[in-house]
């Protein structure tokens, strides 16, 4: 007999949590759909080949590999042993493992597009909300199984896509009542900065250092840049860059002065201006330029986004950007794209902390019919059908037992109404409806029950 | 560079398929909710201990095990090698693998109930729709990753639960427009039959043989029973049993005559009668007694169910039954229950074959705005916001290009309407709305667009 336990870093989602998570996920999906994005679901497993080498050395180590079946078949023993020696040396061997759990949604999406590009209609706009797995050390807010929620448009270089993705962010967070800043920058502007500070080979160093600004502050960023081989004058330019402030227009003007001499700078500024000046509805909150935004991932080549919630201590709740090449790794070149993602777990935490979940999200069963005898409960049973036909969820307590016990059940399940039909009510064709929050109760004719506004 | 491929026995679900699957899943979930069932989600991974030994020897072999990470760390090499030798001998070793992908939804549910039984409100009614994984040889209609869809009530022996589950089946299949027979039998009746034919130790033999009736026919079943050690007289009784025919009432009468002398028989018949005679709504299709129904799984102890679709060649599309002990394997005794499941993949195939998916399931984007120039598309962009606010999904073609190309895009995405705003329309504040199915088109003032009934 085994003691019941759940793997470290994984979670059961019980009803209350599922309902709240679905409230978030459905809000996002509905907005994706309104913008013409289509759902895609890929399997949990991918071939190991598809995943390995795509996430850097550290990422590779965090991929959950699946053991091949049939290893204990004696005919395979020698091969399996040899394969295992390879694995011990950090190599992969298909004799032992050839499948793995997906690590993110981007590579499986790329694999899907590469496999089906002949049949797809481009621009291809897809969204995907699925779990991914990482063998990270579990800690508060970091899980080994967690959901990602991505939308991408591929096969188009139009900046209108960026404008729409910003709209999607604004609309979703507005609908969730989260006061959020959508930050925007461009990798081209970071390239321009690198061009002025030691050339393109410094781009990664500069990006990595800037990415830490929030955590370590400007002094430490400067130190790090010096350590990474930039000279005082170059660090001075970066200091100036990081100090650009004011409204979007003021920032654009300042950055034009700083980087407007470089080709990448001109292009990056032009693109940002296009996105920012695109005519928008009054109720769409405009994005905010943040030149200190870098986004760690290296495949971004154009605009980059990040979303932060106000009034709460929390990392970014969304991020994304433009990339030049989705599927080159799978032998299909020339598919550029732009995408955003929503951090479901963090959005959940923000909404929990700021008490933003609407009351109706919590409700399961709306009406409990008390079980007060055989004939009484049979009557109740047929009445419940009428309510269910009207979309009202209801239950009959499963056995005849004390009022107390039935009330307790209703209370623990947060059921709003009790309907009681005892022998007297059965005779008079009535029932008693009790609002459990207030204790208020009234007698209602059975023929009026289906019309009662619960 | 790796060639893009997907693991054998797994599937990508593209938009059309996702929408149809969700139509089925949401229909079922809505009915579960109306009956007071609550959602539960458990992780894809379980501890290997939780799963092993629960599915029989053959089942154990089909569990996908996850390789531990960090095996290539030199400090672990010796332990890992020793562990691997254990695995080669068919044993499990936590040094190598301690987690696995879930094989069904029942054992994770039992694990969840065992872990949380102190906090749960009983009777606990949960539903769960999630993927499971089996290392089966892939073949037509059999996948290594597939969805299960279960609802169970645990902590109650009330037969009202059976009545409700039968109602749920009937309601769901009615809503999906699938003409389905809900078959019912009781393990107690099978026990009674065993009692008369060699005693309880013959129950499994008899169940296994009867279970094959559909596939091999009555003659072969009789042969098999003789081989399994039953005598001619006993096989004669089983033959009589399998020939019971007629209406539910006629079957009950016949079975009373055959098995009414045994305690299990009396009890089983009484229970079936209770379920069948419970007052029901006129629009709920009653279940049909099928005494040849056995259900392979051994943990059922009371009523058993199976659903078959009419007018189509297809295995059962649902099944379930009552069990005495959900969580005993995890050290928590006395939690009986009853559950049903829906075979999502087969329901999908039935609906596809009988063309039962409603037209509206297929629709993604409803309106495509043509891109006919910079100023024109900016106008279109702000108009789209008005439509989206009304819940109409729309897109603007991503770049200015030939009519032809934009029409083709609309056609391939099955978009119903095109809205065209050229320079002339822009001047006169109008647009042209074209219904793409019929080619019908009309000029509409921009101010009337949001009110247009797409």
Q: In this structure, how many other beta carbons lie within 10 angstroms of the beta carbon of residue A438?
A: 7
- Residues B26, B114 contacting (CB under 8 angstroms): no
Q: Which whole number is the average pLDDT over B69-98?
A: 83
Assess contact for A211 and A295: CB atoms under 8 A.
yes
B112 touches chain A (CB under 8 A): yes
Judge: A393–B34 Cβ closer than 8 Å, yes or no. yes
Q: What phi and psi, each to the nearest 5 degrees, are found at residue B354?
A: -95, 10
- Percentage of residues in chain A with pLDDT exceeding 70? 99
What's the rounded mean pLDDT across residues A121-137?
Answer: 96
Could you give the CA distance from residue B63 to residue B56 in angstroms, rounded to a whole number?
Answer: 11
Closest CA to A356 of A169, A180, A230: A180
Q: What is the DSSP annotation of A265-323?
A: HHHHHHHHHHHHHS---TTSPPPEE-TT---S-TTEEEEEEEEEESSS----SEEEEEE
- DSSP run (H or E) holding B276: helix B263-277
Q: Which of A2, A88, A114 sits opposite B330 (nearest CB)?
A: A2
CB-closest option in A38, A87, A399 to B364:
A38
Q: Residue B211 and residue B295: Cα distance in Å, rounded?
A: 7
- The number of angstroms, rounded, from the C-alpha of B232 to the middle of its chain's C-alpha atoms is 41
For residue B91, count CB atoms less than 10 angstroms from its CB and return exposed for 0-12, middle for 13-18, buried for 19 or more.
exposed
- How far apart are alpha carbons A197 and A147 in whole angstroms? 39
Please state, in angstroms and rounded to a whole number, the distance separating the CA atoms of residues B268 and B262.
Answer: 10
Nearest to A168 by CA among A153, A154, A158, A148: A153
Give the whole-number percent of chain B exceeding pLDDT 90: 81
Phi, psi of A190 (to 5 degrees): -65, -35
Tell me phi and psi for residue A137, to 5 degrees: -70, 120
pLDDT at residue B297, rounded to an integer: 64
Among A294-308, B236-250, B424-438, which is the least confidently predicted range? Answer: A294-308
Distance, CA of A318 to CA of A169 (rounded, Å): 8
Question: Token pair of B128, please?
Answer: 């769960």
∠ CA B211-B215-B217, rounded to 5°: 90
Distance between A431 CA and the closest CA of chain B, angstroms: 19
Closest CA to B362 of B414, B439, B435: B414
Residue B30's pLDDT is 97
| Residue in the block written with tokens 């020939």 | B243
Query: Distance between CA atoms of B258 and B213, rounded to whole angstroms?
Result: 20
How far B226 CA sits from the closest chain A CA (Å)?
34
What 3-state class would DSSP assign to B392? coil
- Cβ atoms within 10 Å, residue B380: 25
User: Residue B281 has what pLDDT?
Assistant: 73
The SS3 assignment for B207 reads: helix
- The predicted structure's pLDDT at residue B385: 92
CB pairs A-B closer than 8 Å: 285
**Angle, vertex CA A271, rays to CA A266 and CA A277, nearest 5:** 120
Residue A215 has a pLDDT of: 87
Query: Among A230-239, B279-288, B388-397, whose mean pLDDT is lowest?
Result: B279-288
DSSP code per residue over B178-202: --EEEEEEEHHHHHHHHHHTT-GGG
DSSP code for A105? S
Which one, of B336, B41, B298, lies nearest residue B162 by Cα?
B336
Res. B283: pLDDT tops 80:
no
- Identify whether the C-beta of residue B309 lies closer than 8 Å to the C-beta of residue B180: yes
pLDDT tens-digit series, residues B130-181? 999 999 998 888 899 999 999 999 999 999 999 999 999 999 999 999 999 9
pLDDT at A1: 61
The pLDDT, as a whole number, for residue B56 is 86
Which residue shows structure tokens 């309510």? A387
pTM equals 0.95
Other CB atoms within 10 A of residue A93 CB = 18
SS (H, E, C) B53-65: CCCHHHHHHCCCE
Residue B392 has pLDDT above 80, yes or no: yes
How close B384 gets to chain A, by Cα (Å)? 9
Chain B contact for A439 (CB, 8 A cutoff): no
Mean pLDDT of B100-128: 97
A230-to-A201, A227, A439, B246 alpha-carbon distances in Å: 11, 7, 73, 91
Residue in A281, A345, A320 with CA at minimum distance from that of residue A143: A345
pLDDT at position B57 is 86
pLDDT at A282 over 80: no
Distance of CA A396 to the CA centre of its chain: 38
Structure tokens at B31: 């009915």
Burial (0-12, 13-18, 19+ Cβ within 10 Å), B274? middle
Contact B4 A77 (CB under 8 A): no
- Taking the C-alpha atoms of residue B62 and residue B383, their distance in angstroms, rounded to an integer, is 55
Q: Who has greater pLDDT, B295 or A34?
A: A34
Strands A97-101 and A337-342: unpaired
Residues from chain A contacting residue B110 (CB–CB below 8 Å): 4
Burial of B386 from C-beta contacts in 10 A (0-12 / 13-18 / 19+) = middle
What is the pLDDT averaged over residues A65-92? Answer: 84
Chain B residue at shortest CA distance from A378: B279
- pLDDT of residue B330 exceeding 70: yes
Q: Which two tokens stand for residue B306?
A: 């199976």
| Mean pLDDT for all residues in chain A | 93
- Cβ neighbours of residue A268 under 8 Å, at least 6 residues apart? A186, A187, A188, A189, A191, A192, A259
Query: What is the spatial distance between Cα A163 and Cα A248, in angstroms, rounded to a whole number?
Result: 16
Q: How far apart (Å, rounded) are the C-alpha atoms in residues B302 and B159?
A: 10
pLDDT of residue A271: 97
Answer yes or no: is pLDDT of B365 > 80. yes
Q: Residue A161: its chain B contacts at CB < 8 A?
A: 398
d(CA B380, CA B115): 56
DSSP B137: P
Pairing assessment for the beta strands A430-435 and A417-420 based on DSSP bridges = antiparallel
Task: Answer whether residue A66 shows pLDDT above 80.
Answer: yes
pLDDT, tens digit, for every residue of A350-402? Answer: 999 999 999 888 778 999 999 999 999 999 998 999 999 999 999 999 999 99
Distance CA A158, CA A336 (A): 10
Q: Nearest-5° angle of CA A279, CA B449, CA A28?
A: 60
Say if residues B210 and B221 touch (Cβ distance below 8 Å).
yes
Question: Is B398's CB within 8 Å of A365's CB?
Answer: no
A412 in contact with B at a CB cutoff of 8 Å?
Answer: yes
Least confident of A249-253, B294-298, B424-428: B294-298
At B185 the pLDDT is 97
B45 touches chain A (CB under 8 A): yes
Beta-carbon contacts of B58 under 8 Å, excluding residues fewer than 6 positions away, are none
Question: Which one, of A431, A435, A434, lies nearest residue A445 by Cα?
Answer: A431
Please give the average per-residue pLDDT across B118-130, as a whole number.
97
Residues 292-331 of B with CB under 8 A from A: 327, 329-331
Task: Quickly state the pLDDT bin for A73 (edges 50, 70, 90).
Answer: confident
Cβ–Cβ below 8 Å for A84 and B81 = yes
The reported pLDDT for the residue numbered B1 is 62
pLDDT (0 to 100) of residue B190: 95
Beta bridge partners of B128: B150
Residue A362, pLDDT score: 76
Helix (H) or strand (E) holding B338: strand B337-342
Residue B42: predicted pLDDT? 98
Helix (H, G, I), strand (E, B) or coil at A82: helix
Average pLDDT over residues A393-417: 95
- Give the pLDDT confidence of A191-220 residue by residue, as tens digits: 999 999 988 888 888 988 898 898 899 999
């Amino acid at each position: 007999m085994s003691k019941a336990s759940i793997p470290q870093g994984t979670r059961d989602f019980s009803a209350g949590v599922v309902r709240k998570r679905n409230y978030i996920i459905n809000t996002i999906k509905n907005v994706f759909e309104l913008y013409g994005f289509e759902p895609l679901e890929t399997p949990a497993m991918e071939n190991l080949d598809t995943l390995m080498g795509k996430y850097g050395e550290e990422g590779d180590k965090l991929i959950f590999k699946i053991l091949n079946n049939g290893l204990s078949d004696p005919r395979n023993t020698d091969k399996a042993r040899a394969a295992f020696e390879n694995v011990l040396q950090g190599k992969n061997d298909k004799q032992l493992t050839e499948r793995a759990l997906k690590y993110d949604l981007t590579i499986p999406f790329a694999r899907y597009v590469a496999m089906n590009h002949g049949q797809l209609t481009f621009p291809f706009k897809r969204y995907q909300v699925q779990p991914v797995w990482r063998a990270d050390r579990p800690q508060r807010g970091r899980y080994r199984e967690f959901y990602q929620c991505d939308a991408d448009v591929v096969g188009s270089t139009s900046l209108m896509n960026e404008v729409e993705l910003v709209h999607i962010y604004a609309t979703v967070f507005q609908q969730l009542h989260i006061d959020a800043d959508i930050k925007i920058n461009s990798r081209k502007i970071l390239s321009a900065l690198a061009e002025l500070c030691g050339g393109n080979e410094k781009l990664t160093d500069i990006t990595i250092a800037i990415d830490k600004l929030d955590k370590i502050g400007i002094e430490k960023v400067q130190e790090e840049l010096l350590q990474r081989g930039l000279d005082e004058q170059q660090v001075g330019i970066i200091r100036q860059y990081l100090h650009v402030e004011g409204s979007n227009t003021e920032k654009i003007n300042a950055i034009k002065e700083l980087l407007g001499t470089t080709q990448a700078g001109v292009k990056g500024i032009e693109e940002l201006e296009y996105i920012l000046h695109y005519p928008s509805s009054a109720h769409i909150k405009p994005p905010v330029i943040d030149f200190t935004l870098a986004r760690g991932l290296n495949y971004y080549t154009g605009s980059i986004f990040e979303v932060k919630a106000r009034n709460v201590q929390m990392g970014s709740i969304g991020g994304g950007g433009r990339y030049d090449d989705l599927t080159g790794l799978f032998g299909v070149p020339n598919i550029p794209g732009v995408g955003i993602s929503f951090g479901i777990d963090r959005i959940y935490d923000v909404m929990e902390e700021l008490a933003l979940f609407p009351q109706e999200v919590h409700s399961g069963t709306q009406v409990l019919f008390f079980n007060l005898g055989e004939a009484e409960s049979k009557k109740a049973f047929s009445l419940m059908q009428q309510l269910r036909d009207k979309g009202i969820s209801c239950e009959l307590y499963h056995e005849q037992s004390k009022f107390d016990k039935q009330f307790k059940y209703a209370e623990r399940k947060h059921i709003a109404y009790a309907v009681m039909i005892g022998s007297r009510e059965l005779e008079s064709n009535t029932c008693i409806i009790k609002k459990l929050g207030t204790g208020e109760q009234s007698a209602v004719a059975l023929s009026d029950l289906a019309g009662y506004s619960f």
